[in-house]
Amino acid sequence: GPNCKRFLSFARRGSPRKKHTRIHPHSPVFFFPSLSLLPGCPFLPAPLIRPCSSARSRIEELGGRNFRSRFWDPRSARGEVSDCENSSRSPFRLGGESSEVAAMATRMAPKPFSWILVILASLASLCNGFYLPGTYMHTYSQGEAINVKVNSLTSIETELPFSYYSLPYCKPPIGIKKSAENLGELLMGDQIDNSPYRFHVNVNETVYLCTTNPLNENDVKLLKQRTRDLYQVNMLLDNLPVMRFTQQNGITIQWTGFPVGYTPVGTNDDYIINHLRFKVLVHEYEGSGISIIGTGEEGMGVISEADNKKMSGYEIVGFHVVPCSVKHDPEAMSKHNMYDAAGPITCPMELERSQIIREQEKISFTYEVVFEKSDIRWPSRWDAYLKMEGARVHWFSIMNSLMVIFFLAGIVFVIFLRTVRRDLTRYEELDKEAQAQMNEELSGWKLVVGDVFREPAAAKLLCVMIGDGVQITCMAVVTIVFAALGFMSPASRGMLLTGMIILYLFLGIVAGYFGVRLWRTIKGTSEGWRSVSWSVACFFPGIVFVILTVLNFVLWGSKSTGAIPISLFFTLLLLWFCISVPLTLLGGFLGTRAEPVDFPVRTNQIPREIPARKYPSWLLVLGAGTLPFGTLFIELFFILSSIWLGRFYYVFGFLLIVLLLLVIVCAEVSVVLTYMHLCVEDWRWWWKAFFASGSVALYVFLYSINYLVFDLRSLSGPVSAMLFVGYSLLMAFAIMLATGTIGFLTSFYFVHYLFSSVKID
């Protein structure tokens, strides 16, 4: 940020002689390799190396020396000119004789552990960080043509995306061309195409596009349906979504996209949006004064002022639109060619001057564009989209979760320090005869010492679910950590989903290892590990495949772009079979080589009878899920709103905190519930420990249904409801595996610790 200290990367004596090298302003070189991984500070690729004025003059003066230095001014990424003379405290001012510079180069030469010191210094430095989205900055010259792209039509009424060109819109003269999309974009139903909308930088113009043929019955029906389903047109300019603003009760509301049309209140007529008033915000970027860097006798020079002007340009930092419905004279408009200048057009308020949707109507499309200079810099251009409100609500949720954690931690503290430790100490101090006598009088968890590690029912299924749960948990943690650090911004469409899938595929080795090692611990042998590994590889992906296949057939029937293409389906299957399955089998093999966890006590041959209880134990298990749900339900609301209402979600820092709190609550709940079951002589704790924390998934699913009924009341049609329920079921199942695994592993080590000090013949 603008307050960061200037850094000198390094200076080295005796560097090998190199030719002069011209460094382009957008060249992703000459940055700290270690610091480039810190998104909080502007050391990501696309830097602009800008020596300050006095440094340039001194370097030019010392050009013949065998010297190389690289300068970094973080403000250069924001287009600011630096001046060493205005910063007397800067340790990088160059002045004096050449010997001083050479001495400084010697002192600054890399020494042992220098990179460690650089990393520590970077972490300690105080700076106002900014986020660079996942694309490189692009500068445009005066009058350069820039093209607008269009994405799928979307609606919060149906949740079914459709292609932009499924409606009778103007097509580009070069034909429709699809943009390359990543895996996440394809799975989300994005379909980015070129469009006929074309601007010229800093050229304000009003342009005619085309006039359609007379609308037939099918066109009218489709336009009316898309209008009444509140479909939005989504456009992109230099990776920025188009934004519009509306006023409601004196409050300015920001929207992405604009409607296909509108239906005035009190009428049954529909009007199409056929005139767009664009405003493009540009920030003027000046030449960077980048040096020509060389070593040895060639020295260093400075790029000329003419070259600097060539490197100057304009950055697009905003893209706004005002949609209008204008009734043009189709006969007069049809005489124009595409991109001909049109006269001034005003957005009418009267319905008589708006373009109605009806049969045999010819619709003319026009647009106007105005360029406006802005002080917004390129790294900050996404701030308007990613600004999140309601921070107090997030903090309130976190404070509630902390209260639950402290309450449960108090219970666990009492269990460990007052009950368990006291009983174990008393038990160990007795001699064998006294222990035998005491065993006859004992009650509670100490009586199940010979059954507590008895093999659970459906042991293979438990191992498979634990393996998949570990895989999902690791994927979620790594993804959220990277997103919180800024590596998976909504600015990079599809990156979050793509990253999740890639992580899941490669974490198969972890799933196989944990599943097989638990299997070996329970069975005492590695026999059957291949079956367990294969089941781990197929269990969760198989359920996902079944649900997605059913939903995909529904989307195919609706002709929605949300349907996964057959080619992508087979690509996903190929990735799973070639990456995830082999890695899971490899993890299972490693699990057979790892030492199993030894049980501290022997298991009796005859199972102990479990006393009858006044109430079924599953009620306690289901009730335990309310505590983890209380930790995440606020964040769950924001996530559902982001997915189903088309809002940006960029509070991954809060989400990371909630995730950590959820892990702690799940662990504590499972330990407390396991101890309660052991105290009533119920040694069948394995599955209960899993579902004690895993039952939170039931409440997540019920809350999703509540969200569908009360917050998505406008969701229309059985297809949309089926999609919502299907995806919610998939999400709840993944949460059950992850939270259940956390609870089970914690309870397993708790029980192991509890009985590890018990002496029994």
Helices (H), 647-695: 652-679, 686-694
Same domain, 467 and 350: no
Both 73 and 153 in one domain: the answer is no
379: in domain: no
Q: Looking at the structure, do residues 341 and 427 belong to the same domain, yes or no? A: no
pLDDT at 137: 79
pTM of the model: 0.76
- What average pLDDT does the segment 563-580 reach? 92
Do 616 and 749 belong to one domain?
yes
Any bridge partners for residue 244, and if so which? 255
Q: What is the pLDDT of residues 401-432, one digit of tens each?
A: 788 778 777 777 776 666 665 555 655 555 55
Domain residues for the domain of 23 are 7-124
Position 89 pLDDT exceeds 80: no
Q: Rounded to the nearest 10 degrees, what angle do helices 652-679 and 626-644 cross at?
A: 150
Query: Per-residue pLDDT for 528 more than 60?
Result: yes
Q: Does residue 130 lie within any of the structural domains?
A: no
pLDDT range class, residue 280, cuts 50, 70, 90:
very high
pLDDT score of 713: 74
Q: Using H for helix, E for strand and C for coil, what is the string for 19-75? A: CCEECCCCCCCCCCCCHHHCCCCCCCCCCCCCCCHHHHHHHHHCCCCCEEEEEECHH
The answer to whether residue 237 scores a pLDDT higher than 70 is yes
- Under the banding of pLDDT at 50, 70 and 90, the label for residue 59 is very low
Same domain, 660 and 747: yes
Backbone angles phi, psi at 656, to 5 degrees: -65, -40
Q: Do residues 332 and 460 share a domain? A: no
Q: Is residue 292 part of a domain?
A: no
* CA dist., res. 687 & res. 692, Å (int): 8
What is d(CA 283, CA 374) in angstroms, rounded to the nearest whole number? 5
Confidence check: pLDDT of 599 > 60: yes
Helix boundaries (H) for 527-616:
529-558, 566-575, 581-593
CA torsion sign, 42 to 43 to 45 to 47? positive
Which position has the higher pLDDT, 101 or 461? 461
Among 144-148, 257-261, 346-350, 742-746, whose mean pLDDT is lowest?
Answer: 346-350
Please give the sequence-ordered ranges of beta strands (E in DSSP) within 201-269, or none if there are none.
205-211, 232-233, 235-237, 240-241, 243-248, 251-256, 258-259, 261-262
Say if residue 543's pLDDT is above 80.
Answer: yes
What 3-state class would DSSP assign to 481? Answer: helix
- The answer on 161 and 111 residing in a single domain is no
How sure is the predictor about 679, in pLDDT bands with cuts at 50, 70 and 90?
confident
Comparing 730 with 300, the larger pLDDT belongs to 730
93 and 151 inside one domain:
no
What pLDDT is attached to residue 383? 84
pLDDT at residue 576 in the model: 94
Q: Inform me whether the pLDDT recorded for 446 exceeds 80.
A: no
Confidence class for position 122, pLDDT limits 50, 70, 90: very low
Question: Which position has the higher pLDDT, 217 or 126?
Answer: 217
For residue 633, the model assigns a pLDDT of: 85
Q: What is the mean pLDDT of the chain?
A: 78
At residue 279, φ and ψ (nearest 5 deg) are -130, 120
Mean pLDDT of 503-529: 93
Considering its fold, how many domains does the chain have in total?
3
Residue 390 has a pLDDT of 66
pLDDT band of 695, cuts 50, 70, 90? very high
- Look at 71-85, 141-155, 285-299, 636-650 and tell me which has the smallest mean pLDDT: 71-85
Asked if residue 716 has pLDDT above 90, the reply is no
Same domain, 14 and 162: no
- The DSSP 8-state label assigned to residue 142 in this structure reads T
Per-residue DSSP letter, 472 = H
Q: Let me know whether 456 and 605 are in one domain.
A: yes
Domain membership of residue 748 (yes or no) is yes
Regarding whether 521 and 445 lie in a shared domain, the answer is: yes
- Here the tokens at position 391 are 């921070």
Residue 309 lies in a domain: no
pLDDT of residue 329: 86
Share of the chain above pLDDT 70, in %: 74
Is 374 within the bounds of a domain?
A: no
Q: How confident is the model at residue 53 (pLDDT cuts 50, 70, 90)?
A: very low
What does the pLDDT read at residue 93? 35
pLDDT confidence of residue 228:
93
pLDDT tens, residue by residue, 130-164? 444 455 678 899 999 999 999 999 998 888 999 99
Average pLDDT over every residue of 304-327: 80
Same domain, 411 and 348: no
Mean pLDDT, residues 326-334 taken together: 86
Structure confidence at residue 654 (pLDDT): 87
| pLDDT confidence bin for 62, thresholds 50/70/90 | very low
In a domain, 667, yes or no: yes
Helices (H) and strands (E) in the chain, counts: 23, 19
% residues pLDDT > 90 (the chain): 41
Residue 574 and residue 18: Cα distance in Å, rounded? 47
Report CA torsion sign: 541, 543, 544, 546: positive
Q: Is residue 513 part of a domain?
A: yes
Mean pLDDT over residues 9-27, rounded?
37
Mean pLDDT of 39-65: 39
* Banded model confidence at residue 696, pLDDT cuts 50, 70, 90: very high
> What single DSSP character describes residue 154?
B
How high is the pLDDT of residue 344? 86
Q: Does the pLDDT value for residue 109 go beyond 60?
A: no
Determine the pLDDT at residue 7: 36
Stretch 18-42: mean pLDDT, rounded?
A: 36
**Quick one: pLDDT band at residue 176, thresholds 50, 70, 90?**
very high
Phi, psi of 251 (to 5 degrees): -110, 130
What's the pLDDT at 106? 43
pLDDT of residue 306: 55
